[in-house]
Amino acid sequence: MFDCIIIGGGPAGLNAALVLGRAKRKVLLLDENKPRNAVTHASHGFLTRDGIEPSAFKEAAYADLRKYPNIEWTQVRVGAMTKEQSGFSVQTEKKETYHARKILLATGLKDHLPDIAGIESFYGSSLFPCPFCDGWELRDRPLVVICEDERVLHSGKLIWNWSKDLVICTNGQRFLTDEQKTAFLANGIKVIEEEIAALEGEDGQLQNIRFADGQEINREGGFVAVDLQQAAAFGKALGCTYNEQGGIKTDPFGRTSVAGVYASGDTTFNGPQQLILAAAEGSKVGAGIVIDLVDEEF
């Protein structure tokens, strides 16, 4: 019987494991090792780790966890989990079964890209979802913002901070008003509403955008609005309540609507999806689990 089983080995799950382990708790971390940032060459904005490769970040995290013999982990996909009288039962796809008093869901999100030919070749290399993570590297270059909905009003203004040479592409969607287009044009931002036929370039570096009407523009990179989806459905299976954004609803310490089940990191949709924020939330939720365990035992 573990004090806590953590599902997901991203920054939230790893930091929660560290906090729980340092509180002398018996912890098991189950990690499928299919992170959302696998396409990224470097992660930014994490003080002392700025520019680190995601794999190197994970290796450093496990080096920290190895100091604590009460923390265990294994690379395996979780198949199912059920609530029991004394806690929870977790079954892996390798037919292993583990038991724990508490469950922490830190399975994160997955990106759903627009349906544009060639976009996968550039995502994570020269097209990114977050300017705070990758804007510095693309600063002052000819950029594109690809967005098929109203989020472009915010994204266009925000990314203009990093480059004034900016083109907005709505990929055939015509939702912008004349007033909104005029505001973009007044700040030197061109708007193209034609459908994108293909993105072109070499070795992950965007060079050209070709449109269905035959028009072409040269761009060196940019940002794309992605739809975020839960990477796993364990929260629904356990009966957790979800918020309007599609994240698992929690209190400030990660407690969900199901007693004994906690959620942390991107899976909660509590804010921007950034490495440092997910790690910080994992630390806070780990402490919350320790507090609840102590209250039950005292």
Q: Which amino acid is at 278?
A: A
pLDDT attached to residue 274: 87
pLDDT attached to residue 38: 67
pTM: 0.92
For 154, which DSSP code? H
**Average pLDDT for runs of 10 along the chain of length 298:** 96 97 98 78 89 92 97 95 93 95 95 94 95 95 97 95 98 95 96 97 96 96 93 94 93 96 92 87 97 97
Please give the Cα distance from 190 to 56 (Å, whole number).
Answer: 39
Please give the Cα distance from 31 to 154 (Å, whole number).
Answer: 35
Q: What is the DSSP string of 32-70?
A: ----GGGG-S-B-S-TT-TTB-HHHHHHHHHHHHTT-TT
Cβ neighbour number for residue 182 with a 10 Å cutoff: 11
Please give the Cα distance from 262 to 254 (Å, whole number).
Answer: 5
Extract the tokens encoding 279: 């790690």
- Continuous H helices in the chain: 11-22, 54-65, 119-122, 131-134, 152-159, 178-186, 234-238, 275-297
- Indicate the pairing of strand 221-224 with strand 216-218: unpaired
Residue pair 155/162 in contact (Cβ under 8 Å)? The answer is no
pLDDT attached to residue 255: 97
Extract the tokens encoding 62: 């496990």
Q: Which amino acid is at 163?
A: S
Cβ neighbour number for residue 110 with a 10 Å cutoff: 16
pLDDT attached to residue 131: 95
